Chains A and B, each alone.
Chain A
Amino acid sequence: MEFVMAIVIGILFMAAVYLILSKSLLRIILGTGLLSHGAHLLILTMGGLGGTSPPVLAEGVTDYVDPLPQALILTAIVISFGVTAFIIVLFYRTYAEHKTDNMNLMKGNDEHD
């Protein structure tokens, strides 16, 4: 199953990078969203997908799924959410100020070299 997951992660990264490289700011934000999904799944997959039981103590169970990657991902999800929320508002403000979402137009002019 990890093989399939590795390919899915590859596709997520690919799509994310493709979107991040585009000129539209909105597509860049979509790309960062995909990138964080890819990273989260990567952590999960690297921990191994073979366990049979969720990491909650239960009678007579010994084969728990590795809990550490899950804790790491949980932290990562929350942080990426915070950042995404911030970026969305930043994007909104940028668009409101500059009336454009074209990244090519949003660069410093030569006077500020």
Chain B
Amino acid sequence: MEFVLLIFLPIVAALFVPFLYKTVKNIHTGWFVFIISAALFIYYLRFIEKTLNGNVDTSTLSWIPSLDIAFIAYIDGLSLLFSLLITGIGALVVLYSIFYLDKKREKLNNFYVYLLMFMTAMLGIVQSDHMITLYLFWELTSISSFLLIGYWYTRDRSRFGALKSMMITVFGGLMMLGGLVLLSIMGDTYSIRELIANASSFIGHDYFTLALVLVLLGAFTKSAQFPFYIWLPDAMEAPTPVSAYLHSATMVKAGLYLVARFTPIFASSEVWIWLVTGIGLLTLFWGSFFAVKQTDLKAILAFSTVSQLGLIMSLLGASAVAYHVTGADAAIFKFAAFAAIFHLINHAMFKGSLFMVAGIVDHETGTRDIRKLGGLMSIMPVSFTVAFIGSMSMAGLPPFGGFLSKELFLTSMLALRDFELFNFATWGIIFPIVAWVASVFTFVYSFYFVFKTFAGKRKMQSLPKEPKETSLGMLLSPVVLAAIVVVIFFIPNLIGKMFVKPAVVAMQSGLYNHPDEVTVNVSAWHGWSPELMMTLGIIALGAFLFLTMSKWQKLYDIQPQYFSLNALYDTLMVFGESGMNRLSRFYMTGLIRTYLVYMFAFIAAITTAALFIQDAFAVDMESFSPLNTYGIMTAVILVLAVVMVLFAKTRLAAIIALGGVGYSVALFFVIYKAPDLALTQLVIETVSVALFLLAFHHLPALKRHGESTKFRLGNFIIAAAVGITMTLLALSAHSQKLIPSISQYYKDTVFTEAAGGNIVNVILVDYRGFDTLFEIAVLAIAGIGVYSMIRLRLSRKENSDENK
């Protein structure tokens, strides 16, 4: 079966959702969606067998063959892992949403259409081998995520959050497109696999670093890395199933997927290792540090997601180091890739379950404010258990999956100290220290999340609703996820063998050929190693900090509101809008004169500049015809008449002077032997002057409207510039004729071909009759225009109607 088509299964199913929603009223639409995602999950399970042996599968759907663009689904360990997460957690989230969203009150058709759209987009990202379709699906996730965050579109906060996430992720997406295009130019292919195969040839290429930075921008914005994480906390306005699905388990991991996928291409670069590891660790610390500050349950989880994504990102950066070291040291960096994937799975599980618990608490108590909550342990025992398991896993305590992945993480960070290239020997010590401090804060916020909500005194009076344990259906999904979290701790090596090792092989394709070569063995007890000591330190200091939290949590208030990344974003947006507005208003004054000044000034400047830069100015006296006494006299008359027009005080004088100019032009036509022109010019000038005189009584007096001397001087300078430009242009053009006139043909054939003697007339009606046809049309239109302007009075008629 062509499994590339399965990518499109959700979006095709989305077409039927509104129909089902409208017709099948008594069944919650979510069940239909649940079947789709569960079926996909089961289908993708079949690929495990293949990836276990290091095999891959591809399936192609041609789209634009002439441009070499196709949908290529490519399933290896990494994309299979992601596909399973997407469909599996997708199914659980849909199940949860069936009980979370009310059938009657919510617009379920919208919700599930967006969700299915998103599922297609995510499957497309992780399975695409073609960079252009990868980008296509990438933007589709941005769009569907925008729609999902703004699901309750009547709320201001939802719209703000949706817009913010859209702006940031689409910015990153566009940057990534640039990077992908550069990559395709470098490798002369759109296929990621082919790029990876030729990775060594890119080193030192001009575009290499630029492509690297652009691709990373895409990954960092999507995966909410510093400083682009700011959209994620605001995206918490989405319904909780969306937060659980998009903003913990799947979409934010698209950036991680991208980094993992492109690691073999960019790993050779120092910039890549520093950026990915450094930004990852910074995000890890920043997110964990600010998570403690939050008072909203979902905001805590959002910052915790940011932090955990940073952790995985830094591990991915460390895994690139494996390409630079050989021998015994190499093994320890190969660890990092394993740790990254392993934690990615862990995080998807526990974060999904925690979001669902936060949703349950919100659903049952009516608030997510941690200050109003407390003592729910005995009322909601199941939710508490799930939250406890999730939080302890997040804090990295045994016996939960998070413990294992955190130990692996600390091992990898400790190993970075010993990496000798790229200044790591000097700065490497920072990595384990930051990682450790961040882990302490992770511990604190995990405890903060679960115990401030469920332990302590009950605050019934502050809750909007009477709390009670929620329905079985809503608990089902978080319980399944929590169970997996516990199971992972006990069978880490099975999970490693089934999912992680094939993914590592896919991610570090140059280093391994078969999953069995990945020799990482995870065990819960691994001796009195330094990382276990660090964990004990985390527990000790974390417990101390948690117990004394009320004393130091106020320290967060020291940071002023205006000095934050959110404030920077807001300022940028406001400045962007008002700045652009001011810029437009600055040059768009609404005055015709201003625009004309721009045009004339640019015409004069550009023409003159081009004339001299191209060295095109030339005056060839030889090409000019001899001076002509009548011509000079006429020229003097014409110039005098022009001056009269300029300085006329009354409109009558101006009109007559304009007529004078017209008649001198007619005289020129006589002198230069153009009888037809002279005739036409005379008649038309007469008619024009007559027209002016006809309108004379209706015309206003010739006023200057308070034009200042400065105003006139400005006009004069522009006018002089244009006049001089035209003179220079005319002289140069006449002095440098490249080819002779084609008129010899007209002269030769006017009688033999067209049976006429007047060459001008024959040209007008015979050789070039079309010009004449349409100039007649112009005259006709002008006539109709004049007539209608004088006769039609629409606005006045309407007014008079109103008056009646």
Give chain A's interface residues, CB within 8 Å of chain B: 1-27, 30, 33-34, 37-38, 40-42, 44-57, 64-68, 70-71, 73-75, 77-79, 81-86, 88-93, 95-96, 100-104, 107-108
Contact = CB atoms under 8 A, between A and B. Distances in A.
B768 A71 contact: yes
Contacts of A44: 668-669, 672, 674, 677
Contact of B722 (A14, A34, A78, A85): A14
Nearest to B784: A86
B734 A34 contact: no
Interface residues of B, number: 97
B626 interface: yes
Nearest to A110: B590
Contacts of A9: 726-727, 730
B790 interface: yes
B646 interface: yes
18 contacts: A1-B627, A2-B734, A7-B727, A11-B639, A22-B593, A23-B704, A26-B700, A44-B668, A44-B672, A49-B672, A51-B673, A64-B759, A67-B747, A81-B779, A82-B782, A85-B691, A103-B592, A107-B592
Given A6-B727, A17-B723, A26-B700, 5 more contacts: A1-B625, A48-B741, A55-B759, A66-B743, A67-B759
B658 A34 contact: yes
B544 interface: no
B427 interface: no
Contacts of B662: 33, 37
B775 A86 contact: no
Given A57-B757, A74-B677, A77-B684, A19 B782 contact: no
A68 B707 contact: no
B726 A78 contact: no
A54 B461 CA distance: 106
A71 B760 contact: yes
B691 A88 contact: yes
Task: Please classify the interface of chain A as helix (H, G, I), strand (E, B), loop, or mixed, using the class held by over half of its residues.
Answer: helix
B549 to A, nearest CB: 52
A24 B775 contact: no
Contacts of B723: 10-15, 17
A3 B620 CA distance: 10
Contacts of B688: 33, 81, 84-85
Nearest to B668: A41
B244 interface: no
A86 B782 contact: yes
A5 to B, nearest CB: 7
Nearest to B681: A77
B628 to A, nearest CB: 5
Nearest to A56: B758
A108 B592 CA distance: 11
Contact of B674 (A21, A57, A65): A65
A64 B734 CA distance: 19
A20 B684 CA distance: 22
Contacts of A6: 727, 730-731, 734
A102 B593 CA distance: 11
Interface of B: 589-593, 596-597, 600, 619, 621, 623-628, 631-632, 635, 638-639, 642-643, 645-646, 651, 654-655, 658, 661-662, 665, 668-669, 672-677, 680-681, 684, 687-688, 691-692, 695, 698-700, 702-707, 715-716, 718-720, 722-724, 726-727, 730-731, 733-734, 741-743, 746-747, 750-751, 757-760, 763-764, 768, 771-772, 775, 778-779, 781-783, 785-786, 789-790
A50 to B, nearest CB: 4
Contacts of A102: 703, 705
A15 B758 contact: no
A59 to B, nearest CB: 11
A74 B597 contact: no
Given A22-B707, A67-B760, A89 B790 contact: yes
Contacts of B758: 55-57
Contact of B593 (A50, A88, A103): A103
Contacts of B715: 17-18, 21-22
Contact of B741 (A53, A68, A82): A68
Contacts of B719: 13-18, 21
A18 B642 CA distance: 11
Contacts of A67: 743, 746-747, 759-760, 763
Contacts of A89: 695, 785-786, 789-790
A93 B763 contact: no
A111 to B, nearest CB: 12
Nearest to B657: A30
B760 A23 contact: no
B789 A90 contact: yes
Given A57-B757, A67-B747, A71-B760, A4 B645 contact: no
Contact of A15 (B646, B699, B702): B646
Contacts of B718: 17-18, 21
B638 A8 contact: yes
Nearest to B745: A68
Nearest to A68: B743
Contacts of A108: 590
Contact of A46 (B642, B665, B733): B733
Contact of A4 (B631, B672, B700, B750): B631
Nearest to B659: A33
Contacts of B698: 92, 95-96
Task: Kindly list the 5 A-B residue pairs having the minimum CB-CB distance in the complex, ordered from nearest.
Answer: A14-B723, A10-B727, A82-B782, A18-B719, A50-B625
B775 A75 contact: yes
A45 B671 CA distance: 12
A25 B734 CA distance: 35
A44 to B, nearest CB: 6
B605 to A, nearest CB: 14
B457 to A, nearest CB: 57
A40 B600 CA distance: 19
Contact of A70 (B591, B760, B786): B760
